């Protein structure tokens, strides 16, 4: 299990990641979702032990990434946002270098390199200079590097960016297959990808966690706020009064005049959408109002996502609120951990 506790990162006075905590269970694919600049890569870099955190703790299968770095790093494979490849090296040279720094025993290196090249389907370019490879191939070479040595924990920062649709499908399939005996955290700003591949998602924006849940739960949380679209031909005021008084209608969100006596209403519902829709249709027809169009809009994940990331974060403590206005200059926490982190910073 991987635990992330109260992870915070300041770049100078700018806060990139604010006190986030979550856990990744064994054999789980966790999606890490957020718009660009949300703090995804910073968090990934901290989990992988590349960037030191301002405060907080990352534990990878019981090894602290800062205190027990070597053991923790032996357990992980990391594909950063920009594939970390040397353009002047051939693919096999590069992979054998990576195998070396990952401490794969000399005798096993060749088989291991062949295995990951098979997995990522890059065997056909193994003798080529990385400089001459296309973006998609480079991405896959970087991915192959992350899988070398079969680490239990795999961090993938936007692994499908730059791949063509065919390769995207293949890479997604590969990520899914990793689930059998790996733990994966996988960041993306593409929703459909996350919903297809991941068991749970963490949604992050501006350094704050907005939600941690399964895709299904996220969708169902928002399903009670369905909206109904009705387009009618006839009297606007009459229709409005009927709609308003129908049971189950919360409020009319908007009325648009589309000309020729056609009006379209967007109505927010509470309760069983089908029942309300039937009732509304009967009432409206009864009052000689023609219905041109009627449908209820389900909240898709896209809407959930947009809603979540734009929702203001509740401040639990007054200090947090103050921090938002005046970024804290030095941590007032007296815990030993923080002190040590700061000492390192002073070097």
Partner 1 sequence: MFSVYKKELQSFFYTPFAYALTALFMLLFSYIFANAIAKLETTNRLMFSFTEIFYDVIIFFIFLIPIITMRTFADERKLGTEVLLMSSPLNVAKIVLGKFFANATVFLFMIAGSVLFPIVTEKNGEVVISQLICAYIGFFSWGLMFIALGMLISSFTENSITAAIIGEIVMFADLFLDDFSRTAFISQYPKLQSVLLSFAAQPRFAYFSQGFIRLSDLVFFGSAIIVLLSWTYISIERRRWNRG
| Min CB(90)–partner 1 separation in Å | 9
Residue among 49 and 136 whose Cβ is closer to partner 1 = 49
- By CB under 8 A, the residues from 91 to 120 that bind partner 1 are 93, 97-98, 100-103
Residues paired with residue 202 on neighbouring β-strands, in sequence order: 32, 212
3-class secondary-structure state, position 268:
strand
Judged by CB under 8 A, the stretch of 118-126, 184-192, 295-303, 339-347 that binds partner 1 is: 339-347
Number of residues that bind partner 1 (CB under 8 A): 36
- The reply to whether 48 sits near partner 1 by the rule CB under 8 A is yes
> How far apart (Å, rounded) are the C-alpha atoms in residues 162 and 143?
13
| Min CB(81)–partner 1 separation in Å | 8
> How far apart (Å, rounded) are the C-alpha atoms in residues 270 and 276?
9
> How far apart (Å, rounded) are the C-alpha atoms in residues 235 and 287?
10
Among 50, 110, 128, 296, binds partner 1 (CB under 8 A): 50
Residue among 46 and 239 whose Cβ is closer to partner 1 = 46
Q: Which long-range contacts (CB under 8 A, 24 or more apart) does 307-315 make?
A: 307/222, 308/203, 308/205, 308/210, 308/211, 308/218, 309/34, 309/35, 309/38, 309/203, 309/205, 309/210, 310/205, 311/210, 313/208, 313/210
What six digits make up the tokens of 261? 């006596």
- The reply to whether 143 sits near partner 1 by the rule CB under 8 A is no
Cα dist from 328 to 12, 176, 332, whole Å: 10, 41, 9
| Min CB(39)–partner 1 separation in Å | 12
- The reply to whether 86 sits near partner 1 by the rule CB under 8 A is yes
Residue among 16 and 133 whose Cβ is closer to partner 1 = 16
Which residues sit at the interface with partner 1, rule CB under 8 A? 11-12, 14, 16, 45, 48-52, 69-70, 73-74, 76, 78, 80, 82-89, 93, 97-98, 100-103, 145, 344-345, 347
């Amino acid at each position: 299990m991987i635990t992330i506790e109260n992870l915070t990162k300041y770049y100078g006075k700018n806060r990139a990641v604010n006190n986030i905590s979550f856990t990744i269970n064994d054999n789980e694919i966790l999606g890490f979702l957020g718009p660009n600049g949300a703090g995804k890569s910073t968090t990934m870099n901290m989990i992988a032990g590349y960037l030191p955190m301002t405060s907080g703790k990352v534990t990878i299968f019981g090894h602290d990434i800062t205190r027990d770095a070597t053991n923790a790093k032996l357990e992980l494979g990391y594909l950063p946002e920009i594939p970390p490849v040397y353009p002047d090296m051939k693919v096999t040279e590069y992979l054998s270098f990576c195998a070396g720094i990952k401490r794969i025993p000399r005798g096993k290196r060749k088989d291991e390199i062949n295995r990951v090249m098979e997995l990522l389907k890059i065997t056909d370019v193994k003798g080529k200079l990385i400089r001459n490879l296309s973006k998609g191939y480079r991405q896959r070479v970087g991915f192959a590097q992350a899988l070398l040595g079969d680490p239990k924990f795999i961090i993938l920062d936007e692994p499908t960016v730059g791949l063509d649709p065919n390769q995207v499908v293949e890479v997604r399939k590969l990520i899914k297959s990793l689930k059998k005996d790996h733990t994966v955290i996988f960041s993306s700003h593409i929703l459909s990808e996350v919903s297809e591949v991941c068991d749970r998602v963490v949604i992050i924006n501006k350094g704050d966690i907005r939600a941690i849940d399964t895709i299904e739960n996220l969708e169902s949380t928002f399903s009670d706020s369905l909206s109904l679209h009705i387009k009618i031909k006839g009297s606007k005021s009459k229709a409005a009064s009927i709609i308003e008084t129908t049971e189950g209608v919360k409020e009319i969100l908007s009325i648009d005049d589309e000309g020729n006596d056609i009006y379209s209403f967007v109505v927010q519902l509470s309760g069983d959408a089908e029942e309300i829709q039937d009732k509304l249709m009967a009432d409206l027809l009864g009052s000689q109002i023609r219905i041109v169009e009627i449908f209820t809009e389900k909240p898709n994940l896209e809407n959930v996502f947009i809603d979540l990331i734009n929702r203001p974060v509740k401040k639990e403590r007054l200090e947090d609120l103050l921090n938002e206005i005046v970024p804290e200059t030095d941590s007032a926490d007296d815990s030993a951990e923080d002190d040590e982190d700061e000492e390192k910073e002073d070097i």
